[in-house]
Copies of this chain bind each other. A is one copy, B any other.
Amino acid sequence: LGTPQPVAHPACPSLPERRCHHPLTNHEANRQLAYCEDSVKERFDRIVPFLKEVAALPRDGQLGDRIQEMAQDRLGHGFNEALVNDSWIEGPDLKGLFASATFEALNAATKQFGRKLEDQKDDALSTSSFFLDCGFHAVDISPCSDGRLKGLMPFIFRLPPWSFTYRKAYAGALFDVEEDLRLWSEVELRRFREGVPNRADEGSRYLKIAVYHGSSSDPHHEGCAAHGSDERKAAEAALDRLQAFRQAVENAYCCGASTDILLVGVDTDTDAIRVHVPDANGDVSVHRYIDNAYLYQETLNLERDAAHLAIYDAIRSVNETDDWGRTTGGEPHDGMRRFVANLLINNLSQIDYVTERYQGRYPAEIIGHAERYISVGDGFEEVQMRNLAYFAHLHTVEENTNDLDVGIKIFRKLNVSHGLPIPIAIHFRYDGRVPGGRERAVARAQRVCHAIRERHSELDEQDMLYFQLTVQDRPSGSEIEEVSQA
């Protein structure tokens, strides 16, 4: 309780005196990611200073024009005329300007990321081929929806998001087994009908990954809220879900319906991962894992080749452990070993990244909450960055009241207590091949908007809820279509 004791950095113990540089770090990638992160955050960070300047402007007949000019200058965009026209009478609509500028920043970020993802299409294809080469015809990943894991794929795993067949976040990583069973059968049907990505009679597998998280500097307060900041509980619950999924596939489709599972933990202070390597039977234990912070430290002073070898050794030897996680199954199949090695090596760069930019750990105000908007619905897969949004994946408020309420509570502190409204971006995907699908996605967005207003009518009456409604066709990289702002 109270402020957490400073603990040695688990990957780079010489911190804060001396930074570490791991031999396998990709420095060019780190430079690009830093540029991307800074430019997106900067777009949001300049909004409040801009509004302070607006508040100080003289309230005469030119106020509207001055706001527009200043916006172009400071933010790079103007506002809808209706938002500024009457400001000379009533004073500037600071809440409306705040929400509108936030949505502009969000839209600019999604465009920037969208272009980046577009450029990565070849990477994504080659990563998918790598997965297939490891024996996985589909990789389906469900991290916790915590905002600190939002950069999971581009930052923590260093993998193009689109290389995964499915990616969906759930509170506490407690993914929907029934829905995943449908995805499983969707993949299988494509293999049967179209031979994509390979034929159904090839002995490859469906890989399901769940990602939980904890906090090494303040484990009892800054862990996963969905599991009461109990990391063990978070890991066990995610593993339960993985096993349930695997069992469900076997029960429902029996013979030849083989599924691999993989459990991964993230220390959200350092972004170091922990991979629970399966044994030869595909079984996973919460007690049997490789801690990449430790591996980083162990391999820090090796040559590149030796570091590589050490990582493969670690994967091989983790299943020879003699303690709690003991298994008689032996090491996993070759493809799984390569897959895990790839994850671990990629993550070394991210440990370096956090070491460089944040002296090893995200600072406390970022360890806690610093989200810029609430993302509701299917979420923008274009924006994959730590703590930019609080995300509630939902189709109805009724089914996910808790997720939504937690988000509102966070933003009461972050925004409402400072007189700023809560920007809520509602986003749904549709399948353009299905007639009427777009209309139904729009109707769903409107219904969810209505339900949020109803549930939090007190905030709504205080003009503290602002919405942007968008929909997007199913293929990755489709245009984001704005339906309305309200």
Binding site for B on A (CB under 8 A): 177-178, 181-182, 185-186, 188-189, 192-193, 200, 243-244, 247-248, 251-253, 395-399, 431, 433-437, 440, 447, 451
Given A185-B185, A244-B434, A248-B437, 14 extra CB contacts under 8 A: A178-B431, A185-B189, A189-B189, A189-B192, A192-B200, A193-B200, A244-B435, A248-B431, A248-B433, A248-B435, A251-B434, A252-B433, A398-B447, A399-B447
**A188 to B440, alpha carbons, bound, how many Å?**
25
Q: Which residues of chain B have C-beta atoms less than 8 A from A178's C-beta?
A: 431, 434, 437, 440
Q: Which residues of chain B have C-beta atoms less than 8 A from A192's C-beta?
A: 188-189, 192-193, 200
Specify the chain B residue showing the minimal Cβ separation from A248: B434
Report whether A436 and B185 are in contact in the complex, using a CB–CB cutoff of 8 Å.
Answer: no
Q: Which residues of chain B have C-beta atoms less than 8 A from A451's C-beta?
A: 398
Report whether A253 and B193 are in contact in the complex, using a CB–CB cutoff of 8 Å.
Answer: yes
Q: Which residues of chain B have C-beta atoms less than 8 A from A248's C-beta?
A: 431, 433-435, 437
A392 CB to closest chain B CB (Å) equals 14
**A200 to B188, alpha carbons, bound, how many Å?**
14
Specify the chain B residue showing the minimal Cβ separation from A192: B192
- Each complex incorporates copies of this chain amounting to 2
Q: Which residues of chain B have C-beta atoms less than 8 A from A397's C-beta?
A: 398
A172 CB to closest chain B CB (Å) equals 14
**A399 to B200, alpha carbons, bound, how many Å?**
37
**A440 to B244, alpha carbons, bound, how many Å?**
13
**A262 to B251, alpha carbons, bound, how many Å?**
34
**A248 to B451, alpha carbons, bound, how many Å?**
29
**A251 to B253, alpha carbons, bound, how many Å?**
26
A10 CB to closest chain B CB (Å) equals 34
Q: Which residues of chain B have C-beta atoms less than 8 A from A189's C-beta?
A: 185, 188-189, 192
Specify the chain B residue showing the minimal Cβ separation from A241: B436
**A399 to B433, alpha carbons, bound, how many Å?**
23
Our pick among B243, B252, B437 for the contact of A434 (Cβ within 8 Å) is B252
Among A181, A186, A193, A251, the most chain B Cβ lie within 10 Å of the Cβ of: A193
**A243 to B99, alpha carbons, bound, how many Å?**
42
A8 CB to closest chain B CB (Å) equals 40
Q: Provide 9 A-B residue pairs closer than 8 Å at the C-beta atoms, listed in order of the A residue.
A: A177-B436, A185-B186, A185-B189, A244-B434, A248-B435, A252-B431, A395-B399, A396-B398, A396-B399
A431 CB to closest chain B CB (Å) equals 7
**A451 to B455, alpha carbons, bound, how many Å?**
12
Specify the chain B residue showing the minimal Cβ separation from A448: B398
Specify the chain B residue showing the minimal Cβ separation from A441: B178
A190 CB to closest chain B CB (Å) equals 9
Among A189, A247, A431, A433, the most chain B Cβ lie within 10 Å of the Cβ of: A189
Q: Which residues of chain B have C-beta atoms less than 8 A from A185's C-beta?
A: 185-186, 189
Among A188, A435, A447, the most chain B Cβ lie within 10 Å of the Cβ of: A435
Specify the chain B residue showing the minimal Cβ separation from A451: B398
A213 CB to closest chain B CB (Å) equals 22
**A437 to B200, alpha carbons, bound, how many Å?**
27
Q: Which residues of chain B have C-beta atoms less than 8 A from A177's C-beta?
A: 434-437
Report whether B398 and A244 are in contact in the complex, using a CB–CB cutoff of 8 Å.
Answer: no
Q: Which residues of chain B have C-beta atoms less than 8 A from A181's C-beta?
A: 434
**A192 to B194, alpha carbons, bound, how many Å?**
12
**A451 to B182, alpha carbons, bound, how many Å?**
27
Specify the chain B residue showing the minimal Cβ separation from A178: B434
A459 CB to closest chain B CB (Å) equals 18
**A275 to B398, alpha carbons, bound, how many Å?**
40
Specify the chain B residue showing the minimal Cβ separation from A246: B435
Specify the chain B residue showing the minimal Cβ separation from A454: B398
Q: Which residues of chain B have C-beta atoms less than 8 A from A433's C-beta?
A: 248, 251-252
Q: Which residues of chain B have C-beta atoms less than 8 A from A440's C-beta?
A: 178
A202 CB to closest chain B CB (Å) equals 14
A79 CB to closest chain B CB (Å) equals 33
**A248 to B430, alpha carbons, bound, how many Å?**
12
Which are the 6 A-B pairs with shortest beta-carbon distances?
Answer: A251-B433, A244-B435, A192-B192, A248-B434, A398-B398, A396-B398
Specify the chain B residue showing the minimal Cβ separation from A433: B251
Q: Which residues of chain B have C-beta atoms less than 8 A from A398's C-beta?
A: 396-398, 447, 451
